[in-house]
Amino acid sequence: MMRIGVLASGRGSNLQALIEAWKLGELNGELVAVGSDHEEAQALKRAVEAGIPHGAFPLSRFSSRQEQEKAILTWLREQKVELLALAGFMRVLSKEFLQDIQIPVLNIHPSLLPSFQGLHAQRQALDYGVKISGCTVHFVDEGLDSGPIIAQEAVLVLPGDTEDSLSARILEAEHRLYPEVVGWVAGGRIKRNGRIVVKI
Ligand code: GRF
């Protein structure tokens, strides 16, 4: 069973989907740590309810971003995390953090990458006028939503969609896809060769 950690800044609905999959035994691992950069994050409350060790690392408690990241990394190591899943973590992790951590780091993004990287991906998709969007689970590298893609799920953009309605439809797909893909990675079913990721 792989020891899985999650970093989340806010609502934590993807964390909740991971918690539910874990409780159903579908994750090939166990959730052992939930960290946040916001003390008040709903994600931390979800961790408390699920009985998962949690930690808050608000920037205000540190002298720099670097010190904040160091504290997060030390804590993840203390929890012996072997796989890290970002779930709405609103900070771009530094190159140093990603080099030092030496475990796979995953992220879920609410668009079909490489389209619409960064913030407000659903609004970007609507403004661009695409007819299909979706979500992407990818390995995290030092760029912005630029790491190797593991899996994607397409979602229709419907006439009259608003940012809220499209976000809600994409979120349903996220909640299906993320636990499934975390389970693949935790179960050793992913092979990576440069940018190309294959499920075995
Ligand atoms: C999701 O849309 C995710 O794709 C993005 O941030 C949002 C987090 O939502 N990275 P939640 O906190 O999991 O509810």
pLDDT digits (tens, 9 = 90+) for 134-193: 999 999 999 999 999 999 999 999 999 999 999 999 999 999 999 999 999 999 999 999
Which of 76, 103, 130 marks a domain boundary? 103
> Is 10's C-beta closer than 6 angstroms to any atom of ligand 1?
yes
Q: Residue 6 sits in which domain range?
A: 1-103
pLDDT averaged over every residue in the chain: 98
> Is 117's C-beta closer than 6 angstroms to any atom of ligand 1?
no
Same domain, 123 and 34: no
Cα 22 to Cα 3, 111, 173: the distances in Å are: 11, 25, 18
Same domain, 74 and 158: no
pLDDT at 110: 98
Same domain, 14 and 36: yes
> Is 109's C-beta closer than 6 angstroms to any atom of ligand 1?
yes
Same domain, 95 and 115: no
pTM above 0.85, yes or no: yes
Residue 59: DSSP 8-state: G
Which of 103, 135, 152 marks a domain boundary? 103
pLDDT at 83: 98
For a ligand 1 pocket test, name from 13, 19, 44 the mutation site with the most ligand atoms within 8 angstroms of its C-beta: 13
pLDDT at 161: 98
pLDDT at 98: 97
Contact criterion met (CB below 8 Å) for 145 and 117: yes
Q: Which residues in the chain come in under a pLDDT of 70?
A: none
Which of 103, 124, 158 marks a domain boundary? 103
Residues belonging to the active site: 109
14 has binding-site annotation: yes
Assign residue 37 the CATH number of its domain: 3.40.50.170
> Is 11's C-beta closer than 6 angstroms to any atom of ligand 1?
yes
Same domain, 75 and 160: no
Same domain, 33 and 84: yes
- Calculate how far, in angstroms, residue 154's C-alpha sits from the geometric centre of ligand 1: 16
Considering its fold, how many domains does the chain have in total? 2
Exposed, middle or buried: residue 71 (CB in 10 Å: 0-12, 13-18, 19+)? Answer: middle
pLDDT at 118: 97
- Calculate how far, in angstroms, residue 185's C-alpha sits from the geometric centre of ligand 1: 20
pLDDT at 119: 97
Same domain, 5 and 46: yes
pLDDT at 123: 98
